[in-house]
A and B are shown apart, each in its own frame.
Chain A
Amino acid sequence: MAPPVPNLPKTSSPSQPSGKSEVADLKLQLRQLAGSIAPGSDDSRREIFKKVISFMTVGIDVSAAFSEMVMCSATSDVVLKKMCYLYVCNYARSNPDLALLTINFLQKDCRDDDPMIRGLALRSLCSLRVANLVEYLVSPLTTGLKDSSPYVRMVAAIGVLKLYHISPSTCLDSDFLAMLKALMLNDPDAQVVANCLSSLQEIWSLEAGNLEAVSREREALLSKQVVYYLLNRIKEFNEWAQCLILELASKYIPSDSNEIFDIMNLLEDRLQHANSAVVLATIKVFLYLTMSMTDVHQQVYERIKAPLLTLVSSGSPEQSYAVLSHLHLLVMRAPILFSSDYKHFYCQYSEPVYVQKLKLEMLTAIANESNTYEIVTELCEYVANVDISISRESIRAVGKIALQQYDVNAIVDRLLQFLEMEKDYVTAETLVLVKDLLRKYPQWSHDCIAVVGNISSKNVQEPKGKAALIWMLGEYSNDMLDAPYILESLLENWNEEQAPEVRLHLLTAAMKCFFKRPPEAQKALGVALAAGLADSHQDVHDRALFYYRLLQHDVSVAERVVNPPKQAVSVFTDAQSSEIKDHVFDEFNTLSVLYQKPAYMFTDKEHRGPFELAEELGSLSLGTGSVEHVIPAQSYEASDNDLLLGTSEKEESRGLGNNDSAYSAPGYDTSLISLEDKQVQPESNFLSLAVPTMPSHTSSVLDDLLGLGTPIIPPPPTLKLNPKAVLDPSNFQRKWGQLTTSLTEEFSINPQGAVALKVPQALHRHMQGHSIQCIASGGQPPSLKFFFFAQKEGETSPFFLVECLINTSSAKAQINIKAEDPTLSEPFSTLFRSALLALSPS
């Protein structure tokens, strides 16, 4: 009878002052009523009890009235008793001494004539959850299991489980498990059987590791005898117990195909049950049973289709969501299955966004030659949807279908129409898609480029869309008349351009454009390289430098590197590996389907931390927020300085050893000459145009670099992490599933640090100091497992996800990094390692 209200501390209740006096008042009234048998006294007691419970519900501490409540509990009124039980169960845990007071009257009630009172009392007795009172539980439970009323037996069966959770040894030492097993196989009442099964399953699965005998018992549950016995009685059970039995049946391995057909015949009508949980559990049984029989498995798909579609369209949105997630899983394995029922997945305006998104995924998955036209027509309707996220998803869906199909003619036309809608987010999403389409179907470039060329770059604000547009400007500058001039105008706003992604694309596009139309693009390239070299973003700076040197080295090589003839992409890498999909299919009808991740990722015991952990982390991040803010910033500056210092020193020493004159001013002139030798006239001037616009300090560095004939390894880009990165677990899971591991490393850690890892929280706090957040941790020393995430500085910067396995006894760590920007995984790994190595026992 655990009430749903957290027992708030006294101070947090705003109504405390008045509450306090009222509690005292209530106590007094209860005292007066205790033992009264006057007519109507039950009514007054009931009123007071109600007040007490309502205080308790809103979080006011009324535990002070404990003894008075117990005194008044001697009544024949069932509602009074229920309220009293509720009260007692709520406060027993925090007041074990007072709980002792209640044992007496609860035990007495366990012997009441009324089975309902016996049952309620036994349930409350088991729900006290006070460890030192377990001795009082054994005897009432034993009697309860043998009670003549099924209600009491049912309560007792669950009571055994509660006892196990308070004190496993007491539960196992008594003969309860054998009694439960006997009841499960013999009791005439279905609910008693179900509760016994549920208790036994939980206890056995928790004990299975400890005792050989228990795991044998557990396996015996899956014997033909038990499974058949339960299945034959399945109609007597209520719907929830049916789910339990069906779940058990899905694990049963039949010995021959006759058994399979027997079970399916027996369960076929369950597919038409009103309870969606029963239907889905039945479907799971069918799918699993027929896994090895290909033909029958296909028939099963046909058979379950209608019930599933009904569940989608008739239930609450929450149910539709759960069913659609399962449908998506099925459709991945049998896309043809729903291809003629595509209309079921048309979105309705009033549906919640989460349902609509899943429906869009379904439409994408089932599109084939026969229905593409209708589906794409429908998707185009959603593009004008009021909800922008649905509009975006719809465009992406159209794009995905286009990439799947051979006949893209109509789709390309539709996509191009989106560009004419003049909605910035529509344009941006469409540009990204057109770019992908062109990579796969270069033959469409003519039609696309004609339309894309008309888009004013000023109307595209989103980085992804802008990057796509710039990519096309570079790639197809031969087909777009004014490509160099558009690039030029974009370059003018280089400093206002926030997203490094866009600046990177600008650099590359300028290069490509230059190779295709040298005279016109030369100016743009000069501006781009100059701006890139002066850029504060490490990647942009490096790429500009790289291009610069490449051009300097050999322009024809540069062209081969930057602008090679491209092959059309035939298959884009799938976001999710089929291995994971299969894994999730094994977990049909579990929560992992809703997340599209295998269950081990979050519900493995290893990953489950105590609740306090999360709270502690929360308070920690609040409390030290300001400090965190400062430290990473300083360390960034420091490391940046170190870096600059380090490289220039290196260059100095090498430069001195090599050639003194190369180090002086005319450095770039010589290089210019070498360029001139190889190249036609127009290109040679670009450096002289470019260099003067550079800020002085960069150009001096550049001089150094140019002077040195030897190739220099560019310094590792420094990475600055967002100290307040936020990623919720579901997003983490989604990203984790989507990304592939970009880096795996094994290394030793500081043995002293390993000692500090006796508690996982130590590492949480430590890593948080380095702007790396822990999202989940678990395991027992010596082997610990952590999931971390971090984000590059900036609002919408890429995330890094890390799985970290640490063995504290061997002081070894293994990290798997998944990065949204894989180019950054190397520097991030360095950062992560240094953070981990810095861990000390303090």
Chain B
Amino acid sequence: MCSRHQNNRDYVISQGGDSTKILPVIASPTHYIFQIFREGITFLACTQVEMPPLMGIEFLCRVADVLTGYLGGLNEDLIKDNFIIVYELLDEMMDNGFPLTTVPNILREMIAPPNIVSKVLSVVTGKSSNVSNILPDATASPVPWRKSDLKSSSNEVYVDLIEELDAILSREGVLVKCEVYGEVHVNSHLPGLPDLTLSFANPSILNDVRFHPCVRFRPWEGEQILSFVPPDGEFKLASYRVKKLKNIPIYVKPQLSSSSGHCRVSVLVGIRNDPGKVIENITVQFQLPSCVESVDVSSNHGTVNVLADKTCFWSIGRIPKDKSPNLSGNLILEPGLDRLHVFPVFRVGFKIVGVALSGLQINKLEIKNLPARLYKGFRATTKAGEYEVRS
């Protein structure tokens, strides 16, 4: 790991377009180069010697996460405007090729994020440093992710279940694969050293769980409860998978029939298993095969756009009570082609607030070491992850 420098601009590899085709690790005659691609920016790292590959890849992911958190997004302009902060962050995250800390809380104590408040403050007080002169004492504390003498005014803690539903449906409507990937997010604003215990009503459905370093392993192993001292602010407490689900909220029935250079397309969308809450932001998109010359599609609900890269994007929103949304139209194939041989995959997007489709339920959240009254909040959201319907 003798020399690992890193860059956060895509000027070394400038294929410009399709970064999804470039391998994440490339061997040059003298170096291995890692690359990850986020929001149009390529993050690069290189090494001359063997090392664990995930250390490089995971580190770049963390750098991207930290920068996103600091800059409130990620794009070329944001990085250009804040390059001093970027330099400062990189300096604290890595020294001589060895990763130091990538924990946002600790970094935030060393380098203040560029926000409007601090800008206003600097104008008013004349004190213009965005660096706290106090070094984080967290590195020496028994809970490295938390300052020991934290004061908080709000006394509140929120637990969010955020689930993504991955599913593949065959053209006959059979569920080929269905799985939920979920995350437990906690947003904690509590003083002192609070000790929290979160339990689920049905932990046995969880297939594999990964924890934030603050979670104690033994209570989970013994009683399947999450016992932890939280970092301040928002963080991902745990992530999990739930396999072999049977219920999916919406169906999409695509039909393509082609003859003599034309292809009739019809897509029907409706509710399959009612989740009990409103399904919002429903979208259906599919890539038209390259042999399609022109498209003429319309829908009885929502809007349809055909983008320049031949992606057909149908934004439905909510399903109306009185009718089933239907998209229909005609594809004209390129000359000489009689029938369509390549069939598009329909990718579905949706969001359901108020329900975790895996069925995971939070039982209760207990808090020790806190005498004062506090506010606890729970939420659940399910989104479509990779929700695909074949045709």
Which A residues form the contact surface with B (CB < 8 A)?
Answer: 1-4, 39-40, 42-43, 46, 50, 53-54, 57, 77-79, 82-83, 86, 114-116, 123, 149-151, 154-155, 158, 161-162, 165, 188-191, 195, 198, 202, 235-236, 238-240, 243, 247, 268-269, 272-277, 279-281, 306-307, 309-310, 313-319, 321-323, 325, 343, 346, 348-354, 378, 381, 384-386, 421-423, 587, 589-595, 599, 602-603, 608-611, 613-614, 729-730, 733, 775-776
In this complex, which of A158, A190, A594, A608 has the most chain B Cβ atoms within 10 angstroms of its Cβ? A594
Please determine whether A272 and B217 come into contact, CB atoms closer than 8 angstroms: yes
Interface: B95 (CB within 8 A): yes
Which residues on the A side are within 8 Å of B116 (C-beta)?
none
Please determine whether A239 and B140 come into contact, CB atoms closer than 8 angstroms: no
**A243 vs B52: C-alpha distance when bound (angstroms):** 9
Which residues on the A side are within 8 Å of B290 (C-beta)?
386
**A39 vs B126: C-alpha distance when bound (angstroms):** 8
Please determine whether A590 and B51 come into contact, CB atoms closer than 8 angstroms: yes
Please determine whether A202 and B144 come into contact, CB atoms closer than 8 angstroms: no
Which residues on the A side are within 8 Å of B110 (C-beta)?
116
Of B19-27, B67-75, B190-198, B370-378, the one touching chain A: B19-27
**A423 vs B291: C-alpha distance when bound (angstroms):** 12
Please determine whether B24 and A318 come into contact, CB atoms closer than 8 angstroms: yes
16 A-B pairs with CB atoms under 8 Å apart are: A3-B87, A4-B6, A42-B128, A53-B83, A151-B135, A195-B95, A238-B144, A240-B98, A240-B100, A240-B102, A269-B221, A313-B241, A590-B53, A602-B27, A613-B30, A733-B27
Min CB distance B284 to A, Å, is: 13
What 19 new A-B contacts, CB under 8 Å, besides A243-B55, A274-B212, A306-B208? A40-B126, A79-B84, A82-B131, A191-B100, A195-B95, A243-B52, A269-B221, A273-B210, A314-B210, A318-B24, A319-B57, A321-B23, A346-B176, A348-B386, A349-B386, A386-B289, A591-B25, A613-B30, A730-B23
**A343 vs B36: C-alpha distance when bound (angstroms):** 26
Residues A421 and B341 in contact in the complex (CB < 8 Å), given A310-B208, A354-B24: yes
Which residues on the A side are within 8 Å of B87 (C-beta)?
1, 3, 53, 82-83, 86
**A762 vs B57: C-alpha distance when bound (angstroms):** 37
Please determine whether A202 and B2 come into contact, CB atoms closer than 8 angstroms: yes
**A86 vs B89: C-alpha distance when bound (angstroms):** 13
**A599 vs B55: C-alpha distance when bound (angstroms):** 17
Residues A322 and B210 in contact in the complex (CB < 8 Å), given A43-B128, A158-B95, A238-B101: no
The 10 closest A-B pairs by CB, nearest first: A269-B217, A240-B99, A306-B208, A318-B24, A352-B20, A277-B54, A349-B345, A4-B7, A348-B386, A78-B131
Interface: B166 (CB within 8 A): yes
Please determine whether A272 and B211 come into contact, CB atoms closer than 8 angstroms: yes
Which residues on the A side are within 8 Å of B239 (C-beta)?
274, 310, 314
Residues A151 and B50 in contact in the complex (CB < 8 Å), given A82-B88, A83-B84, A161-B96: no
**A318 vs B26: C-alpha distance when bound (angstroms):** 12
* Number of chain B residues whose Cβ lies closer than 8 Å to a Cβ of chain A: 90
Q: Which residues in chain B, 50-67, are within 8 Å of chain A measured between CB atoms?
A: 50-55, 57-61
Interface: B293 (CB within 8 A): no
Interface: B179 (CB within 8 A): yes
Which residues on the A side are within 8 Å of B54 (C-beta)?
276-277, 280, 319, 322-323, 589
Please determine whether A729 and B181 come into contact, CB atoms closer than 8 angstroms: no
Q: Which residues in chain B, 200-215, are within 8 Å of chain A measured between CB atoms?
A: 207-213
In this complex, which of A161, A317, A346, A386 has the most chain B Cβ atoms within 10 angstroms of its Cβ? A386
Please determine whether A281 and B144 come into contact, CB atoms closer than 8 angstroms: no
Question: Of A202, A272, A274, which contacts B1 at CB under 8 A?
Answer: A202
Which residues on the B side are within 8 Å of A318 (C-beta)?
24, 35-37, 57, 60-61
Secondary structure class of chain B's binding surface, majority of residues: mixed
**A111 vs B9: C-alpha distance when bound (angstroms):** 36
Which residues on the A side are within 8 Å of B131 (C-beta)?
78-79, 82, 116
Q: Which residues in chain B, 314-346, are within 8 Å of chain A measured between CB atoms?
A: 341-345
Please determine whether B103 and A238 come into contact, CB atoms closer than 8 angstroms: yes
**A384 vs B171: C-alpha distance when bound (angstroms):** 13
Residues A277 and B386 in contact in the complex (CB < 8 Å), given A115-B135, A151-B139, A609-B29: no
Q: Which residues in chain B, 89-126, are within 8 Å of chain A measured between CB atoms?
A: 91, 95-96, 98-103, 110, 126
Chain B, Cβ-Cβ closest to A610: B30
Min CB distance B36 to A, Å, is: 5
Residues A274 and B25 in contact in the complex (CB < 8 Å), given A240-B55, A316-B36, A591-B53: no
Min CB distance B377 to A, Å, is: 23
**A42 vs B126: C-alpha distance when bound (angstroms):** 10
